[in-house]
Amino acid sequence: MNGFGVYNDTAVAIVALKGCGVRRIAYVDLDVHHGDGTQGFFWNDPEVLTVSVHESGRYLFPNSGFPDEIGGPDAPGSAVNLALPPEAGDDAYRRAMAEVVLPAVQAFGPDVLVSQCGVDHHHADPLSHMRTTMAVYPHLWEALSALADEACDGRWVVLAGGGYDPCNAPPRAWAMLMARMAGVDLPPSMPDSWVQIAADAGCRHPATGWTSEDRLPDLSATSGTTRAVDDAITATRAASALLG
């Protein structure tokens, strides 16, 4: 793990699960950066599937995570990488879940799902170029939750991840995620306490809605994105024995 990761909490969690007797573990990493550290840690372990959805390493640190990275000689097929093009947007993430993450994990058949739920693909994040919006997060969390229920009887470990605009996606997206896990209904607007906390932290216009945006990303100039997303998904599916 490079970048801002000091301790590889995801690998620690997986090793801890193995120490508890869990045999097969599927790890899903939605952080905009490739999950290189965790993939590398379990590269040759056929009982840990790592699936990373990220901005392509052609454009973003750590410059890895291409479809041909499929696992070591003792564990071919245990790594799945979807390298999305910049400016891919919400639809690409919905497709990533439906066409790569869900079928790969279901085919693997894990006992536990571990997910790294970085939100640094949001369009306001300063470190990436993916242009997702708040509207995609309820869909992502619901899809992961349903996957945990269907693939491993609800056994699901959730970790946060990247997110570098504290006034936007991280607090709201992760609160929605925790509420989803706990089965708690959210109030219609953000609590007053959040508005004050955000204001004190220097957020000039704290969001008051769970999925509201100060501004929306402009995807009008990226007409090639859909084709590039098609190509990325096709390459990942072709490379993975789980998705063939």
Of these, 57, 162, 171, 217, which contacts Zn ion (CB under 5 A)? 162
How many angstroms separate the CA atoms of 103 and 151, rounded? 10
Q: Cis ω on the peptide bond leading into residue 187 (within 30° of 0)?
A: no
Asked if 31 interacts with Zn ion (CB under 5 A), we say yes
Alpha carbon 94 to chain centroid distance? 11
Q: How far is the CB of 3 from Zn ion (least distance, A)?
A: 7
Residue 19: C-alpha distances to residues 16, 24, 89, 217 (Å) = 5, 12, 38, 44
Three-state secondary-structure class, residue 22 = coil
- Candidates 32-40, 61-69, 93-101, 210-218: pick the segment binding Zn ion (CB under 5 A): 32-40
- Candidates 110-118, 166-174, 194-202, 208-216: pick the segment binding Zn ion (CB under 5 A): 110-118
Asked if 33 interacts with Zn ion (CB under 5 A), we say yes
Which of 114/190 has CB closer to Zn ion? 114
Which of 67/118 has CB closer to Zn ion? 118
- Candidates 25-33, 86-94, 138-146, 234-242: pick the segment binding Zn ion (CB under 5 A): 25-33
Of these, 69, 90, 120, 125, which contacts Zn ion (CB under 5 A)? 120
Residue nearest to Zn ion (CB): 162
- Candidates 71-79, 87-95, 112-120, 195-203: pick the segment binding Zn ion (CB under 5 A): 112-120
Which of 110/162 has CB closer to Zn ion? 162
Where does the chain have alpha helices with state H? 9-19, 36-41, 89-96, 102-108, 136-152, 169-182, 192-200, 225-239
CB 25 within 8 A of CB 14: yes
CB 57 within 8 A of CB 65: yes
Site of interaction with Zn ion (CB under 5 A): 31, 33, 118, 120, 162
